[in-house]
Every structure is written in C-alpha cells, then in structure tokens.
Structure 1
Amino acid sequence: MQHGELNANKPIAGTINTIDRGAPAGGPAGERLLPKRPRTSEVISFSNEDLKGVETPHDDAVVISMVVNKFDVKCVLLDNGSSANILYFDAYSRMGMTEKQLRRMNTPLVGFTGDSVPVEDEVDLLVMVGLAPRESTVGMGFFMVRLPSAYNAILGRPGLNALQVVVSTCHVLMRFPTSQGVGEVRGDQTVARRCYMATHEAKQPAKVSTSTPDDKL
C-alpha cells in the first residue's frame, strides 16, 4: 500500500479495470495540455528497503495504475522499449470518450519482430501519477489500438520521459520528481503475472486433435 491519498480537489470519475479478454506519440502533447511546473532537485535512488513487500526473485514487468482524464486506469504496462504510448480502444471507450475526440491517422506500429499493428487514431490526454502531495500531471499523446489486450495502456518512452520517470524493475517501483519531492508508484506483481499469462495464452495456437476413431475408447 502506498502512503498518501488522492487529491480531494481532483475526484476520480471512475475506474478502468482489467480488460476482460485475453511515429512516436506523446512529445508535443504535454506542451499543449499543461504548462511546465517546477520539479524537485532531490536525487532519485532505490535501496533494499524498497524491496519490502516484493516477491523475490522475480522477472515481473512493472504494471501500475494511473489516472487518465480523471479515471483510475489499472493494468498499465511500463515499457521503455516502446517508442509510443498506446491506449487500447476498449479502455478509451469506457471513459465515456467519443470517436469525435480522436485525430485520424494511418501509421502502423512496428515491433522488434517486424510485425505491425494498424493505428488509425491518436488522442491527447491528461495523465496523473502518484499520491498527493507528491503527484505529477502531464499531458501526453496516445496511439489508439483497436485490438484485444490484457493491458489497458502501455506507457512508452514518450510518457516515461514526460514524467521524468525512473523505473526499477527489481523493486517493481517507479519514481519521479514533483514540486513537493520525489513521488512514487509501485507496480502490482499479481496483476503483472495475470496480464502476462493472459497475453501468453492468447498467443497459443489452437490444439488440433490427431486421434482417429479407433483411438477412442
């Protein structure tokens, strides 16, 4: 559990939980949506004290919750290997947002294996991480992906850099500067493993029976 509380002046409009089925964006959006704010000069570091409550050893991804347009969005994967922020359309639609708020585009996302994912829209949204008073709110752009996913969103390098996040996968923890000191958000290992399994199972090919009528009892 994190110490602190959500800012009472910024009420949550709702919660986006796990999805129940198995050219980089984000750079200019922060400048368009929110002015620059002063940040702390404190050094961001991690120690063995931060391993309390962490199941070790592990190779879990860092999966967090963050507030997007006043919605508590869970199952957000931190991926510094991604050159784009991604929001899945199922999560977007559950925020009560409409397609009129999207900007049309046609830029496929290409992975390391060469596989491409079609992207037809992008959108700028306000993202808040952390707990008051050590919270950070930044505007960032997201590519909209209309495919099923175990995650609601992926925060890639544009979003991580906009928040000036430092991530420790060992500690399942991310920290970032705020005007009130260093803020933090801890990942959820249980959710990370559930999302991993859902993604892995979705990629498994269908099993084909090779039995013949004579094999059946």
Structure 2
Amino acid sequence: MSVARLPAESNNLKPKRARMEIRPVLGFSNEDKIGTIQPHDDALVVTLRIGGYDVKRVLVDQGSTVEVMYPDLYKGLGLKPEDLTTYNSPLISFKGKTVIPKGQIRLPIQTGSEVVEINFIVVDAYSPYMAIMARPWLHALEAVSSTLHQKVKYPSRGHVEEIVGNQPVARQCLVATISRQHKTSSSATAERDL
C-alpha cells in the first residue's frame, strides 16, 4: 500500500479560524430601572457634550427624523447666522404648526470616548429643551434608547456604555410647557373678551 506524504511545510499549517468581531448586546432589563421613579411616562432628557459644551435638557426622541436646535442653545454656543447653511424644508412642530428653519449646522456630539458629527436644524421657536436628538444620532452612535429605563445604551470599545436620563429635569420641562400653554391660552381668552 502506498501512502502519499505531504510536504514538510504543510504539516505546520493549522486551519484558519474566521475572525469574529464580538459586539456587545444592547438591551434593557429590570435592573436598568433601578434608580428611576416607577411607574412613569417621562420623556428621556439627558445631558450631552455638543460642540465642546455640556448641554443639559436634551430630549432623546427616537420618533424624530432630524436633530433640532432651539434658540437658547444656538445663542449659548455663540453661533451666528453666517455659521448656518441653508435648509429649505419646513418642519412640523409638536403642536402641528409649520416651522421654517433658520438653517442647518453640523456639530460634534461627544458621548464618553465616542464622537459623531450630526446636522442640527436650527429653529426659532419656544421649547423647554435645548435640543432634540433623533434617529440620525442614535444610528450614528449605534445606540438604543428606552424611556421606560431612562437610558441610552451604545457600544464602545467592546463594552456597553450608557447615558442616564434625568427624570426631575424631564418633569420640569413638562411643567414649563404646560405652564406656557396655559399662559398663552389665558392671554388669548383675555384678548377675545376685550
């Protein structure tokens, strides 16, 4: 019987293993509710580093398709009209009104060691929030958010990082909105009665 011999160098070959990137699983459990006031229906309001500044009262809204910046943040960052690029598409406000944007600006958003650049649509309208972060930011960060758990989770260097919401601030924003609506409707009623 004849046996074929392999060349000497092939005896040292090992099967190649497929290189697999291990990605952390992003999810939420009941443990993520620890430290939150339950039950609740609070919005997810966080602090983010936008354009090099820590910005409080940022609403995370996975139902929105664009990031929005309101006048207080625009002024606080020292932005000027010449810093904006044209954005011609009108937006629809929470109240269903059409809002014409002042323009658009691209800014870095830092979360931990991760930095993503996002286009903000700048509007001149009242909001208790400084900005709204929407799906483009969540997708760029590869993040998932949960209003129930009051967290945003995202992968970073093989680990899961999280941004924790601030329920008392979310509630203050809600009260500010309701109070403003009440004042606006009271003044409209008073003008009609004159």
TM (norm. structure 2) is 0.79
SS in 1 for 2:136: helix
Distance 1:69 1:121 in 2: 17
Residue 62 of structure 1 corresponds to 44
Residue 166 of structure 1 corresponds to 144
SS in 2 for 1:122: strand
- Any idea what the Cα deviations from partners look like across 1:63-103, whole Å, max 9, x if unmatched? 00000111000100011111110011221221122222111
Greater gyration radius = 2
Q: Which structure: greater helix fraction?
A: 2
Which segments of structure 1 move beyond 6 Å, counting only runs of 4 or more?
A: none
**Equivalent AA in structure 1 for residue 130 of structure 2:** N
CA contact (8 A) 2:23 2:158 kept: no
Q: 70-79 vs 154-163, which deviates more?
A: 154-163
SS in 2 for 1:182: strand
SS in 2 for 1:77: strand
Distance 2:22 2:160 in 1: 7
Change beyond 3 A, Cα 1:112–1:191: closer
- C-alpha displacement of 1:201: 1.9
In the TM superposition, 1:31-42 aligns within 5 A as 41-42=23-24
- C-alpha displacement of 1:40: 6.4
**Equivalent AA in structure 2 for residue 206 of structure 1:** S
CA contact (8 A) 2:64 2:135 kept: yes
CA contact (8 A) 2:57 2:129 kept: yes
- Any idea what the Cα deviations from partners look like across 1:13-36, whole Å, max 9, x if unmatched? xxxxxxxxxxxxxxxxxxxxxxxx
CA contact (8 A) 2:62 2:145 kept: no
Residue 25 of structure 2 corresponds to 43
Change beyond 3 A, Cα 1:183–1:116: same
Residue 25 of structure 1 corresponds to none
**Equivalent AA in structure 2 for residue 42 of structure 1:** P
Distance 1:137 1:172 in 2: 21
| Higher RCO structure, 1 or 2 (CA under 8 Å, sep 6+) | 1
**Equivalent AA in structure 2 for residue 150 of structure 1:** P
- C-alpha displacement of 1:116: 1.1
Aligned residues: 167
Which runs of no fewer than 5 residues in structure 2 stay unpaired? 1-20
Change beyond 3 A, Cα 1:91–1:40: farther
1:155 aligns with 2:138: no
**Equivalent AA in structure 2 for residue 117 of structure 1:** V
TM (norm. structure 1) is 0.71
In the TM superposition, 1:1-217 aligns within 5 A as 41-111=23-93, 114-129=96-111, 131=112, 135-204=113-182, 205-206=185-186, 208=189
Distance 1:99 1:178 in 2: 35
SS in 2 for 1:43: coil
Q: CA-atom RMSD, angstroms?
A: 1.9
Distance 1:198 1:127 in 2: 26
